[in-house]
Amino acid sequence: MKHNEENIIQGLINNGYKARFGTAFDDASNIFKGIAGFSILAFVVYLIASFILSAFVGMLIPGNPVDMVSLMEVIQSGDEDLMNELILEANENPNYLPSIINYLTQSALYPILYSVFTMARKYDTHQNVDFSDLFVHYRDGKFLTLFLLTMAVNVIAAIGFVLCIIPGILVYIFLILSIPLVIFADANVKEAITYSYKVVSKDFGTFAVALLAMVGIIIGGFLLCCVGIIAAMPFTFILIYSLYKHVIGFPGETSEIDEIGTDIYKDNPYMK
């Protein structure tokens, strides 16, 4: 993990802090206006790739087929015992392999969605965003970490939802900064989970409000004839980016704008 970011995180953990959700939300709105096209494209590409791979997996490894003729005969007969027997027979040897492979492929496609974080940072630092940014995490050496982290977070959250729903919600709140920590601070899976939990726990209320806002945005997207979800999902990623920026920041980065007005003679032996 990057040394500067780790020092800042330790300071936040030791001293505490108070984030401003309103400021982060306004910042996210401005960034979204600048990269709306490419961020929406990332979500569309993810959906298309997900559909194609799921269909491909379904053709190669079909689940347990149901004998439709027998099913119709049992329904027409109205015999509940035969119906139960048919259901037990169909579930006797369930084939979970297609579901497992689909889950793995979905996790492998998530870096396309995570490219929105990188687009937001490029826009923030006055760099041009282009189509190739959609696949940046397949070539920057962070794919495996993002893949494993995605599976870990979703599995932990799924266990939480099974236990009593609320633990699953808490998982997503506490680990909301884990993906940006991998992308911007070079954290590994363990560091991303640990530091996200510790940082969020210092200002849990703000991040809880952020998650509720994101859920509301996604629901609003569904209500807009489901088309709005195409814009709602990328916006939630940009909001997470904005929260990360305002809480942890990018201490190891300097842009051309940041360097304007600095002393070019300082620490330069050739210009003294």
Label residue 8 by pLDDT band (50, 70, 90): very high
As a whole number of Å, the end-to-end CA separation of the chain is: 35
Spell out the residues 6+ positions from residue 47 whose beta carbon is closer than 8 angstroms to its own: none
Q: 226 with 43: CB under 8 angstroms?
A: no
Cα distance between residue 178 and residue 195, in whole Å: 8
Q: What 3-state DSSP class applies to 209?
A: helix
Structure tokens at 271: 């210009």
Model confidence pLDDT, tens digit, residues 121-139: 999 999 999 999 999 999 9
Label residue 63 by pLDDT band (50, 70, 90): low
Q: 211 with 172: CB under 8 angstroms?
A: yes
Q: What interhelical angle do 97-124 and 178-185 show, nearest 10?
A: 60
Q: 2 with 186: CB under 8 angstroms?
A: yes
Cα distance between residue 141 and residue 138, in whole Å: 7
208 CB burial (10 A radius; 0-12, 13-18, 19+)? middle
Residue 99 phi/psi, 5-degree rounding, is -65, -40
Dihedral angle computed from the Cα positions of residues 211, 212, 214 and 217, in that order, rounded to the nearest 10 degrees: 180
Amino acid at 146: L
Structure tokens at 117: 């974080």
Model confidence pLDDT, tens digit, residues 196-228: 999 999 999 999 999 999 999 999 888 876 678
Q: 144 with 81: CB under 8 angstroms?
A: no
Summary count for the chain: helices (H), strands (E):
12, 0
Q: What is the pTM of this model?
A: 0.82
Mean pLDDT of 151-174: 91
167 CB burial (10 A radius; 0-12, 13-18, 19+)? middle
Please state the domain extents for the chain.
3-60+96-252
Cα distance between residue 240 and residue 24, in whole Å: 9
**Of 42-56, 58-72, 169-183, where does mean pLDDT reach its minimum?**
58-72
Mean pLDDT of 94-103: 74
